[in-house]
Amino acid sequence: MTVLFIGGSRRKESLNTKLKHRLVEVAEKHGIQHKLLDADALDAPIYHGDLEEAEGVPESMQALAKAIDAADKVVLVSPEYNSSVSPLIKNAIDWVSRLDMQAWSGKTVLLAAASPGGLGGLRAVSHLRDILANVKAWTAPMCASCPNASDSAIASMDEEFLINFLRQGDNG
């Protein structure tokens, strides 16, 4: 069982990257095999059809699709912008969906978000569920959301909750 962790913010002090690392720390402590992609792995031009026709799907997105395909489970940690998902993640989902591989299809996806706001990025999580349903991924019911996020709020998230979050989908 390999879990692939993907973060959706390239900001140096990203709260979502910190949440991703907290989740990885819990995974490591509980012996969960994992791989980590930083947000640079999502780097690609904004999708449009003419670009795809001229140049095909960018290599970075082909590599991302392979990494998703090889994982048993994917943890997506997304910031919320204007009540929705990180454009970096949305663009990557769009590109990957253009490949024959259909890497998302049947994949178990766990959703996490951190925000300084009181809703903790839950609206981004909700939109991600719809987007991922379209590429036939299965999104787990529990999400790991950190409202009023800060270094200390992320550090003090309950470990038992986080391990239960990470174990979703383990039994098929």
Instruction: Give the chain as a DSSP string.
Output: -EEEEEE----TT-HHHHHHHHHHHHHHHTT-EEEEE-GGGG--PPP-HHHHHHH-S-HHHHHHHHHHHH-SEEEEE--EETTEE-HHHHHHHHHHTTSTT-TTTT-EEEEEEE-SSTTTTHHHHHHHHHHHHHTT-EE-S--EEETT--HHHHHTS-HHHHHHHHTTTTT-
Q: How far is the CB of 123 from ligand FNR (least distance, A)?
A: 7
* 82 near ligand FNR (CB under 6 A): yes
Q: Which is nearer to ligand FNR, 11 or 29 (CB)?
A: 11
Could you say which of 108, 115, 145, 168 contacts ligand FNR (CB under 6 A)? 115
Stretch of 115-123, 135-143, 150-158, 159-167 contacting ligand FNR, by CB under 6 A? 115-123
Q: How far is the CB of 167 from ligand FNR (least distance, A)?
A: 24
Nearest alpha-carbon partner for 27 in 168, 162, 138, 170: 162
Q: How far is the CB of 101 from ligand FNR (least distance, A)?
A: 28
Question: Total number of residues binding ligand FNR (CB under 6 A)?
Answer: 15
* Binding to ligand FNR in span 5-64, by CB under 6 A: 9, 11, 14-16
| Contact of 98 with 104, CB cutoff 8 Å | no
| Contact of 166 with 23, CB cutoff 8 Å | yes
Q: How far is the CB of 121 from ligand FNR (least distance, A)?
A: 6
Q: How far is the CB of 124 from ligand FNR (least distance, A)?
A: 7
Nearest alpha-carbon partner for 169 in 140, 128, 145: 140
Could you say which of 42, 65, 80, 169 contacts ligand FNR (CB under 6 A)? 80
Q: Which is nearer to ligand FNR, 51 or 119 (CB)?
A: 119
Q: Which is nearer to ligand FNR, 6 or 103 (CB)?
A: 6
Q: Which residues bind ligand FNR (CB under 6 A)?
A: 9, 11, 14-16, 79-83, 115-117, 119, 121
